[in-house]
Amino acid sequence: MFKKFKFINNQMESETRNSFRKAVVLSKFQDAGLLALIPSYPALQARYDLYHPAHELLVSGYNNWDSTEGVKQGDRVTVELLFTGAKLQLTDVWLPAILMFYKKLSSRYKSIFPNGMKPYNVGGIDEKIESFNTLSKNIGIDTNLTTVKTAVDSTYSELKLARNAQTGAKVSNYISSDALEALRFTAMNLQYRNTGFVMDSLFEHRETILPLIIDLVSLREKEQSIYTGHILHGITIDVLAHTFLDSDSIRVKIVGSGKFKLFLSSTSKGIDSTAITIDANLRTDILVSGFNVTDFANHRFLTLMSESEDAATYRIELL
């Protein structure tokens, strides 16, 4: 069996199959690159006109998916917090109230808690939530426990509402994920076709054009998430080169003394962005949008400037 010619494989598509974010990074780079090259290479106008709508749909789809992903995660935390609070109510409030009327060894207590506390601690979240509904049914019309039953019913209803919202968010996320996958596939295949166009129609200029429309660093390298190093007093260094999105954030901790400044620059050791001040020995989370740059295909150099009188060490994590 013959091996496939390696250029039949579309790297842009294959390398983004498990990362919508990477697809958006590559797409923003190519969209901006094509637009910037049109004055010098007018033949790229047609490629830009074809690519730009696909790029816009990809970015819009990613933002929608990212939003539903955040809602899904937020709803998961809400359900977990509500359930933890419900268990505390059970052990700290309802259980003592029940024990005032029925001792643990009594048949009535055992009919209310036939399996003890196990249903509230074992199994999936849906089974655990239903254990509160079972508790309410086991209490029944017991007039001694009317107040307890009312509280259990209210808690169960709140848990069900939160769980239903979480399930709805999951469904919405799955739907937007499927839609985004189709947009990723279209945009990455257009990038592959744009490469072929440059190789055919602008062959003599391929070495100039292709690095300006294909983000080779993001395409080829596995993303590093943690960067560490040293910085001497009063100097400016490059910490990393990375293509960010405006929704990204980073976590910074510098061990030393004094203050430091971070920039997201268009050149090595550049300072052409809004500066973000970092105090030594404090862990600081920073939104990339705080650098106030719009061209993330160009502003890729994270620059650290020391305003300290001492040497320091830094740890920067891409969140």
pLDDT (0 to 100) of residue 25:
85
Distance CA 81, CA 67 (A): 21
Whether residue 1 lies inside any domain: the answer is no
Tally Cβ neighbours within 10 Å of residue 163. 19
Q: Tell me the residue range of the domain where 254 lies.
A: 224-318
126-160: pLDDT as tens digits: 888 888 888 888 888 888 888 888 888 888 888 78
Same domain, yes or no: 166 and 244:
no
The pTM is what? Answer: 0.47
- Say what the pLDDT of residue 167 is: 61
Asked if the structure places residue 28 within a domain, the reply is yes
Q: What is the pLDDT of residues 71-83, one digit of tens each?
A: 445 445 567 777 7
pLDDT recorded at residue 72: 47
Tell me whether residue 84 is in a domain.
yes
The verdict on residue 198 lying in a domain is: yes
Q: Which residues contact 48 (CB under 8 A, 6 or more apart)?
A: 31, 34, 35, 38
Residue 3 covered by a domain: no
> Which 3 state secondary structure label does DSSP give 278?
strand
18-55 pLDDT per residue, tens: 788 888 889 988 998 999 899 999 999 999 999 999 99
